[in-house]
Structure 1
Amino acid sequence: MSTQSEVLDQPANPPAAQPAAAGTLGGERKGTLEKATLGAFIVVPFLALLAAVPLLWGWGVSWLDLGLLVFFYYLGIHGITIGFHRYFTHGSFKAKRPLRIALALAGSLAVEGPLVRWVADHRKHHKFSDAEGDPHSPWRYGESVPALMKGLWWAHIGWMFDEERTSQEKYAPDLLKDGATRVISKQFIMWTALSLLLPALIGGLVTWSWWGAVTAFFWGSLIRVALAHHVTWSINSICHAVGKHPFKSRDRSGNVWWLALLSGGESWHNLHHAEPTSARHGVERWQLDSSARIIRWFEQLGWAYDVRWPTPERLAARRTEPAADAA
């Protein structure tokens, strides 16, 4: 199992027939309109999240709304964790073509940006993790408390408004070469619209009312997107500022147990940075990692193969403290 993602060593430029612009929205710098749109997609769901408590107290949430929230939340989260992250970014396993496309679509429904751009940013993060060049390290401004507070804001949200963008030709040439992933990435706005409208459509049809559509949109779209955003961004910020470090890594990535269930196992972040290509992040028996469990099911069904499961020997070589089960 390689400790660095193999794709980082691929050629810096995609074939001339497949220009980088075909795989993304916009060029190498963010424009004013894009920043405004990004801000809207951050602020509106977050305002809905703030309004959720008084609204819940006033008129509650139906089982349908709750079901839509949970279903679309974990569909998108696992599309990110299994698809965008462990598969497309790090090559933790190989997938047959239908699964590859399904993972690209599921991750796009999380409304966290186009596939190619997401992967490029994350590969750059691993190359420079918590050092100069990392797009979103919370240690960017120093180690004092004020500097860390500023850095946490940057790692959580601020970095997304940086004008400069990661070069997709350099960090994601493999995805630019693939027609399906390139098209899915380019159609991100369409997948975003679908992700936001589906809960409302289902809610309206099931209840046969406009009010059912409105409440389903509120809980299944706005609240769900806000939760998914902040849980994912917490991996960038919180998991690089606090947490336990049972494995040797070259950065400050830590394990944060209370984010494990919501993050699909991504918050066992220390092991991930110690072994980036590992298909499992929560390697102790008690560590919840739903993404690894689903990958195991894919493997058993024959949809995924050459899965890079962590071996006891490699884990032992990386440990800085005894395994919890052995304590």
Structure 2
Amino acid sequence: MTASPDVLEDAPKAQDTPLPSATLGGDSKRSVEQITLGLFIAVPFLALVAAVPLTWGWGVSWLDLGLLVAMYYIGCHGITIGFHRHFTHGAFKAKRPLRIALAIMGSLAVEGPVVRWVADHRKHHKFSDAEGDPHSPWRYGETVPALLKGLWWAHVGWMFDEEQTPQHKYAPDLIKDPVIRRVSRQFVLWTVVSLLFPPLVGGLVTWSWQGALTAFFWGSLVRVALLHHVTWSINSICHAVGKRPFKSRDRSGNVWWLAVLSCGESWHNLHHADPTSARHGVLRGQLDSSARLIRWFEKAGWAYDVRWPSAGRIDSRRAPRGNREDEGAAHPA
């Protein structure tokens, strides 16, 4: 890959004043962190695999299914609306209570501390699918074996890299925010809350240890595994395949069958063509639940200065007609 310059529109700039101490986790990953990460990937994944025969043999209760869906979409929207569109790209501004709530909701997804997540993603946009991108599937080349290796790297492998994105360089604005810095440092606490809340509810509702255990299996382990792999698929699948109706300097594509599970993030081509847009699914029929919730937050007065894409802005980012791989009417807001 060759290096490709990029400057995110209105991205926060580092200041000359000294920054507070780093958030949870430094710029290098220790062995104990890698082992812990491996466990948090492997154990929920094994639960996800086991869920298929368990559902076939014994089924799943409505309580367990409700906990899975509720916790999934709380964490998913915490990532997509909070970590991604708000904290990383500044697609909208949020009143303080909403800003804190989004940081906590995203932390419940168990995808890492908010400051580290944002730093990684800003670096990804700076070097998208070029040298320096933390998780490009094209890292090893364009042959089939190289792409298969790259897909594994983009999906999971990159998280085990000892070298971490410098948080002070890529997320100085969040480090300077004492509340967000505290939420980021409390990632272990929010992970415990995320994993123990479903069995607590399951146990209290059924008044049994069995109810707590099945709620933990479905509402914690299976839910975390499903959300992880959907999120990671944006890094891997959506940078390898998909339609590309908009101009971007990378290989980001739209993958329609991930749209509902990813809360609108899989309309990835427009996102890389216009990173600060609050809506990613801008063409007719492109479901984007994250944009819908941002609209509700705006109407409630909790979000403001929302960067909704205008029809003209969308059209200006269209790929040349002869090169388009997708067509459709614009859906600006």
* Contact 2:100 2:180 (8 Å CA) reproduced: yes
Aligned alpha-carbon RMSD (Å): 1.4
Deviations 1:212-247 (A, max 9, x none): 000000000000000000000000000000000000
Tell me if the contact between 1:239 and 1:267 (Cα under 8 Å) persists in the aligned partners. Answer: yes
Structure 1, unpaired ranges of 5+? none
Q: Give deviations 1:89-137, integer Å, cap 9, x for gaps.
A: 0000000000000000000000000000000000000000000000000
Corresponding residue of 2:168? 169
The yes-or-no answer on 1:202 pairing with 2:201 is: yes
**2-structure distance, mates of 1:14, 1:92:** 26
2-side partners of 1:121 and 1:48: how far apart?
A: 28
Please say which of residues 257-266 and 53-62 is displaced more in the overlay. 53-62
**In the alignment, which residue of structure 1 is the partner of 2:3?**
none
Query: Which of 18, 21, 25 matches 1:19?
Result: 21
Is contact 2:7–2:126 with CA below 8 Å preserved after alignment?
Answer: no
What is the TM-score with the length of structure 2 in the denominator? 0.94
Structure 1: how far apart are the matches of 2:185 and 2:209? 32
Query: Higher helix proportion, which one?
Result: 1
Q: Which amino acid aligns with 1:153?
A: W
Query: Mapping of 1:97-108 within 5 angstroms?
Result: 97-108=96-107
Pair 1:234–1:35, CA change in 2 (3 A): same
User: Is residue 29 of structure 1 aligned with residue 28 of structure 2?
Assistant: yes
CA spacing shift, 1:289–1:3, aligned 2, 3 Å: farther
Structure 2: 5+ residue runs without aligned partners? 1-5
CA separation of 1:138/1:227 partners in 2, compared to 1, >3 Å: closer, same or farther?
same
The 8 Å contact of residues 14 and 176 in structure 1, kept in 2 or not, is answered as no
Quick one: higher RCO (CA 8 Å, sep 6+), 1 or 2? 1
Residues 184-199 of structure 1 mapped to structure 2, 5 A cutoff: 184-199=183-198
- Partner residue of 1:280? 279
User: Shift in Å at residue 14 of structure 1?
Assistant: 6.1
Aligned to 2:210: 211
CA deviation string 1:6-35 (max 9, x = no partner): 235x1166634x122xx122x211111000
Size of the aligned set, in residue pairs, is 320
| Matches of 1:19 and 1:179, distance apart in 2 | 11
1:183 maps to a residue whose letter is R
Distance 2:245 2:124 in 1: 21
What is the identity, as a one-letter code, of the residue corresponding to 1:19? S
Q: Tell me by how many angstroms 1:74 deviates.
A: 0.2
For 1:64-213, list aligned pairs within 5 A: 64-213=63-212
Contact 2:83-2:117 within 8 A present in 1 as well: yes
Structure 2 counterpart SS, 1:263: coil
TM-score, normalization by structure 1: 0.96
The aligned counterpart of 1:233 is 232
- Structure 1 runs (4+) deviating above 4 angstroms are none
Structure 1 counterpart SS, 2:260: helix
**Same amino acid, percent of matched pairs:** 74
Amino acid at match of 1:204: G
Letter in 1 for 2:329: D
